[in-house]
Copies of this chain bind each other. A is one copy, B any other.
Amino acid sequence: MASVREIARLAGVSTSTVSRALNNDPAVNGATREKVLAVANQSGYVASVGRLVTTNVGFVYAGGETTLGSTFDSALLSGVVRGLEQPKFDVVVINLQRDKSQDENYSQFFRRKGLRGVLVRTAASTRDVCRSIADEHFPMLVVSERFDDENVSFIDCDSHRESIQAMEYLISLGHRRIAFGMHTVPDSNHIDRFAGYKKALEAHGIPYDEKLIFRQNASFSGGASAVKMMMTMAVPPTAVYFADPLLSVGAINVAHETGIRIPENLAVVGFDDADIRHSVYPTMTAVCQDAARLGYEAALELTRMIRENGGTRIQRILPTFLEVNESTGPPGGASVRVPENGSWTPVSPGMTEVHES
């Protein structure tokens, strides 16, 4: 790549003038500036050293896959951007697998990319990457996963408590035979929700029945299959809790097609990590994760770490919330009004201990 020296030679001026012209110094003569800029453009000049950008943080996909198109990730990123607004940082989307060379460690790679800190999205298979980054003491925060390791900072949503709450809501409506739908490959979040399902049953003396557990690919058709299967059982459930947004939506839509009435024949509690609960009919009662807020808080925590030069580990859990809409009601469809504000007070608040930190 051309240097100021080269541009100076080609334009017939000194390197001082080249530098001034490139930086729009008003002292430079108009014609001179034009000539220098023309030469610079033609030779594709790009400064190779100079004042570094110190306001970039990375939104890093630890695995090869960038899932930026998903509703969850996009809400997350928009929250990150909002959270970086006030600290005046910018976010760079980074695919770790693409560019990191073998002979550099993570800190070096991030420094080479000009990053002051990183928010990390990880899958089960790349948890070691997160540990390594943390071990190198590079400012980092894993978003939407949890670690037992003392030294890995993370921020995550907990849906265990609200899963119990969702189940208690169904039970309070009179349901006893409640199915559960989850992704075939459960991540820690799906496991939390499953645990909440079981815990609520146990607390209310309802026996756990393996036949009511439906594992499907997280897709519309997975939710559709699950509903078809459960409704053709000898004794179908009267309610179901789907621990995944796509399964939930697929379930609600196949109900129309098959003539199953929601909530009269089947009360559905879904899971929502964006706003899809409002785009189906009937609007979906759901355990909701506020992805934008998760991203927002993550951005604030990371910039605080950067400002304070590292310091203490962050291990934060944000709450989810149960929003009651129209897809739930008592078994058989006795008339029940949806509360005005979509909230519902748990029957036995004692068992759903709060642990926002």
Q: Which residues of A contact B (CB under 8 A)?
A: 23-24, 37, 41-44, 46-54, 56, 66, 68-69, 71, 73-75, 77-79, 81-82, 85, 88, 90-95, 98-99, 104-105, 107-108, 111-114, 116, 137, 220, 249, 252-253, 256-257, 276, 278-283, 292, 309-310
Contact = CB atoms under 8 A, between A and B. Distances in A.
A275 to B, nearest CB: 9
Given A52-B50, A78-B68, A280-B279, A309 B44 contact: yes
A138 to B, nearest CB: 10
Given A74-B74, A252-B281, A253-B283, 10 more contacts: A41-B310, A43-B309, A56-B56, A69-B75, A81-B93, A90-B92, A91-B93, A93-B93, A249-B279, A280-B280
A85 B97 CA distance: 11
Contacts of A99: 88
A49 B46 contact: no
A88 B81 contact: no
B53 A113 contact: yes
B309 A42 contact: yes
23 contacts: A23-B108, A24-B104, A24-B107, A41-B137, A41-B309, A41-B310, A44-B309, A48-B54, A49-B50, A66-B82, A69-B75, A71-B71, A74-B78, A81-B93, A90-B94, A91-B92, A92-B92, A220-B278, A220-B279, A252-B281, A256-B282, A279-B279, A279-B280
| Identical copies of this chain, number | 2
The listed residue with most B CB atoms (<10 A of its CB), out of A81, A94, A257, is A81
Provide the main secondary structure of the chain A interface: mixed
* A98, A104, A114 interface centre (most CB from chain B within 10 Å): A114
A54 B52 CA distance: 11
Contact of A69 (B54, B56, B78, B95): B78
B116 A46 contact: yes
Nearest to A38: B137
Contacts of A74: 68-69, 71, 73-74, 77-78
A114 B116 contact: no
A333 to B, nearest CB: 16
B91 A98 contact: no
A69 B292 contact: yes
Contacts of A279: 220, 249, 253, 276, 279-280
Contacts of A253: 279-281, 283
Nearest to A85: B98
